[in-house]
Amino acid sequence: MMTTRRLDLTLAALLAATLATWGIGEAGAAGVLAMIAMLALTFFKGRLIALEFMGLRPVKLFWRAMLIGWLVLVLGLIALAYWIGLPA
Amino acid sequence: MDATASQLTQTHEHDEQFQTPPGDLAIWFFILAELLAFAVFFSAYAFARANDVALFNEMQQEVDRNLGALNTVFLITASWCVARAVHAVTRLGQNRIASHWLLGGIFCGAGFLVVKMFEYSAKFGAGISLSTNTFWMFYLSLTFFHFMHVILGMVILCVLWVQTRKGGYGPKNANGLESGAAYWHMVDLVWIVLFPLVYVMR
């Protein structure tokens, strides 16, 4: 059920996650661990937008799977490309 | 309403499951098509970077991460405003309140566009163009592709704002509002991936 409290908490979580992502960038963090953290934060944010803001939480699994699946696919491809680009 | 009845209503609302997402089904097919286009673009960027990590890491130093983060805040806040507008109509039946929330969303969206134009003018002023190198080709085309989506999203939000001002929606008649809102959230979702990919990943 969509409540204003739920929407407000979603905003707070998204802002906190954005601050964390920005922090990773500011620290100049590089490497596998930093990227895992960055991609996990991105997944967390994207999932919140799909479920809470787009209102997909109470919707049939198919639609949630399409959006979450898109996130997994894109972040997975980014992770794969990052891994390929790592120095041998 | 006594406690039991209230409990029953709550249980019902928690169990409520919908066959289709909020808004017109057609907008969701459009959103999926848009997401696919962005997926191709993001992958192309990531794999081009894998081919020349040194160049991408060096050029990334030139992008303004603070402005990128500020724009993330603008888009997230705009999405929140739009979600609150949908809530005001579908749960409270309040077009007037929804119009205020939409105006908040429009202001945040405008903030995004102003910041982005500031970024573009700084880059163009420094002599950077699509042909400077692979990084800038991707940076400019990818962010401009998204920029155009924000402009379309702003047009949609303005239409929704006018409609709510006229009292055009209600709890049983919110299809247009929900469809426009879904589009705006898609624009936000895409930026949520674009920001770490282009501004942070190294």
Distance of CA B182 to the CA centre of its chain: 9
Judge: B196–A39 Cβ closer than 8 Å, yes or no: yes
The model's pLDDT over B130-174, given as tens digits with 9 standing for 90+, comes to 999 999 999 999 999 999 999 999 999 999 999 999 999 999 999
Which of B32, B196, B202 minimises the CB distance to A21? B196
Judge: B196–A55 Cβ closer than 8 Å, yes or no: no
Is B160 domain-assigned? yes
Q: Which of residues 48-87 of B touch A (CB under 8 A)?
A: 49-51, 53, 57, 65-66, 69, 72-73, 76-77, 79-80, 82-84, 86-87
Is B6 domain-assigned? no
Q: Which residues of B touch A49 (CB under 8 A)?
A: 79, 185, 188-189, 192
- Given this model, what pLDDT does residue B3 score? 46
CATH of the domain at B174: 1.20.120.80
Is B70 domain-assigned? yes
Q: Which of residues 98-157 of B touch A (CB under 8 A)?
A: none
* Averaged pLDDT, B68-77: 98
Judge: B43–A24 Cβ closer than 8 Å, yes or no: no
CA distance A7 to chain B (A): 7
Torsion of CA A48, A54, A55, A59, to 10 degrees: -100
Is B11 domain-assigned? no
The model's pLDDT over B74-109, given as tens digits with 9 standing for 90+, comes to 999 999 999 999 999 999 999 999 999 999 999 999
CA–CA separation, A2 and B158 (whole Å) = 24
Confidence check: pLDDT of A51 > 60: yes
Judge: B53–A26 Cβ closer than 8 Å, yes or no: no
CA distance A61 to chain B (A): 9
CA end-to-end span of chain A: 49
Per-residue pLDDT band at A13 (split at 50, 70, 90): very high
Judge: A18–B178 Cβ closer than 8 Å, yes or no: no
Count of domains for chain B: 1
| Interior angle at CA A7, CA A2 and CA B74, nearest 5 | 140
Is B8 domain-assigned? no
Cβ neighbours of residue B86 under 8 Å, at least 6 residues apart? A2, A55, B22, B98, B174, B177, B178, B181
Judge: B35–A2 Cβ closer than 8 Å, yes or no: no
Domain that holds residue B135: 35-200
Cβ neighbours of residue A55 under 8 Å, at least 6 residues apart? A2, B21, B22, B83, B86, B178
Is B25 domain-assigned? no
User: Can you give the residue ranges of every domain in chain A?
Assistant: 4-85
- Given this model, what pLDDT does residue B151 score? 98
